[in-house]
Amino acid sequence: MFARRFFISLPIFTFIFILQESVVTQFKLFGGGFSLFLIFALLWSALGTPEMGALTGFGAGLLMDLSQSASGPMGQWTLIMILAGFTVSYLGYGDDNFRGNPISLIFTVAAAVVVIRVIYLILGLLLGSDIGSTWSVLVSLFSSAFWSAAIAPLLLPVVTRIHETLFDVKSRI
């Protein structure tokens, strides 16, 4: 079942990845803008089981590692996204109060984006990457939280509708 869902999700994620890399990157937004792909992956993970969330994170992380803008070694995003996907879906799995409330889902995704980036930063530091000035890091983290909170509500209905259509699960909010 995991493999079937994974391969069904793959074209969608590839499409969103192309959209992110070719279209979203054209917009010069405050603080570096947002990652449509990251928000999409986290929302997608939040609607599934923890195992499916981890698998989703794995696929999404692999694609993010293939991006030219990825500064770390191949696998860094994969590792982080596995844990992020698992955690986000684990938090809401079986809790209808959580999944039925879009605000909590949006808040979780916005917070997760910041946490993921902080972990990526720390892991990058451990692996010897340069992170730039502290101020730019803070501005980037703050803006990513802001943009995620702004974009996630717009993306949420789309994600839930696709998820419901593909997997016939009552996850629509």
Partner 1 sequence: MRSGGDNRGRLLLISLIVTALFLITLDLRGVQVITGLRNGSQSALSPFQSVAATIFRPVGNFFSDVTQLGRTRGEIERLKAANEKLQKELIDRKNADAELAQLKSVLDLAGTAKYKVVNAKVISLGSTSSFTQTITIDAGTNNGVRQNMTVISGLGLVGVVKISYPNSALVQLTTDPAFKVGARVAGSQQIGILSGQGTSKAVLQLLDNQTTLKVGDVILARGSVNNRPFVPGVPIGQVTAVDNAAGAVTQTADVKLYVNFSALSTVAVVISAPKVDPRDALVPRAPVPTPVPTVTIYAQPSESPAP
> Does 104 participate in binding partner 1 (rule CB under 8 A)?
no
Inter-residue contact 37 to 64 (CB < 8 Å): yes
Using CB under 8 A, pick the residue from 4, 94, 96, 170 that binds partner 1: 94
Residue 129 in contact with partner 1, rule: CB under 8 A: no
Burial 94-128 (b: 16+ CB within 10 A, else e): eeeeebeeeebbbebbbebbbbbbeebbebbeeee
- Contact with partner 1 (CB under 8 A): which of 75, 100, 142, 161? 75
Give the span between the Cα atoms of 161 and 169, in whole angstroms.
Answer: 10
State the Cα–Cα distance between residues 144 and 7, nearest whole angstrom: 29
Query: How many Å apart are CA 99 and CA 158, to the nearest integer?
Result: 15
Residue with tokens 């340069």, as numbered in its chain = 130
> For partner 1, which stretch binds (CB under 8 A), given 23-31, 100-108, 146-154, 163-171?
23-31
What are the tokens at 123?
């892991």
127 binds partner 1 (CB under 8 A): yes
Q: Verify binding: residue 21, partner 1, rule CB under 8 A.
A: yes
- Does 30 help bind partner 1 (rule: CB under 8 A)? yes
The total number of residues shown for the chain amounts to: 173
- CB-wise, 40 or 86, nearer to partner 1? 86
Task: Kindly state whether residue 130 participates in binding partner 1, applying the rule CB under 8 A.
Answer: no
3-state secondary structure of 79: helix
User: Taking CB under 8 A as the rule, does residue 171 contact partner 1?
Assistant: no
Give the nearer residue to partner 1 in terms of CB position, either 95 or 169. Answer: 95
Q: Which is nearer to partner 1, 10 or 165 (CB)?
A: 10
Question: Which residues here bind partner 1, judged by CB under 8 A?
Answer: 2, 18, 21-23, 25-30, 49-51, 54-55, 57-58, 61, 65-68, 70, 73-76, 78-79, 82-83, 86, 90-95, 127
